Amino acid sequence: MINDLSIAALILAGGQSSRMGEDKAFVLYEGKPLLQRVYQVAAACSQKVYIATPWPERYKTLLTEDYEVLLETEPNQGPLVALSQGLLEIPFDWIWLLACDLPILEVSMIQRWQSRLTVVANTVLAVVPQSQSRWEPLCGFYRRSAYSHLQEFMIPGGRSFQRWLTHISVEPIYLSKEESQMLLNCNRPTDLKP
């Protein structure tokens, strides 16, 4: 965690999980629910953890630790809409946006990435991993001041993270092969097999 900056983690747990066939947050990976695994890393790397979901009661038994719910006002509209709400409502310098299905995140690697937040130019609105010329936005860091730029993109109907990131100043985190593996998410039951 960076002492000079305030960083909140925003874990996305509001998707339909249609390819998985059940709520991904509860799916076990090495004996532990995906949401618990992601939460533990998020708590170690941020000052506050928020869960973005339209179902605030659903995760109370799964997460007994300290977290806040960001009740999605526009559920099922995708991660860009959830980020927009987070940038508006969460009073931190940076939001670390996370999918709930990233079971092999490593605290040490995330902390190395976070150290870059203290040295990026004030004009940089996002620090996002990039793998093979493609952004990995669901493990990226977004400056609170990105909100107005995101609104400009979304008002005419923009919902693509990849396209939005081409419209703003982004500092890429170039990923090694090992780091790319850490960001593999779980969309289907077969993705959970080692």
Domain range spanning residue 44?
Answer: 7-192
Residue 55's beta-bridge partner residues?
none
Residue 44 known to bind ligand: no
Tell me, yes or no, whether 91 lies in a domain: yes
Residue 12 known to bind ligand: yes
Tell me, yes or no, whether 41 lies in a domain: yes
Q: What is the CATH number of the domain that holds 136?
A: 3.90.550.10
Of 2, 12, 194, 15, the C-alpha closest to 117 is 2
Tell me, yes or no, whether 120 lies in a domain: yes
Tell me, yes or no, whether 1 lies in a domain: no
Q: Which residues contact 135 (CB under 8 A, 6 or more apart)?
A: 128, 129, 161, 162, 165, 170, 172
Phi first, then psi: give them for residue 9, nearest 5 degrees: -95, 135
Q: pLDDT tens digit string along 80-129?
A: 999 999 999 999 999 999 999 998 999 999 999 999 999 999 999 999 99
Residues 186 and 101: beta-carbon distance below 8 Å: yes
Residue 60 known to bind ligand: no
Instruction: Report the number of distinct structural domains present in the chain.
Output: 1
Residue 177 known to bind ligand: no
Tell me, yes or no, whether 103 lies in a domain: yes
Tell me, yes or no, whether 97 lies in a domain: yes
What pLDDT shows up at residue 18? 42
pTM, to two decimals: 0.91
Residue 14 known to bind ligand: yes
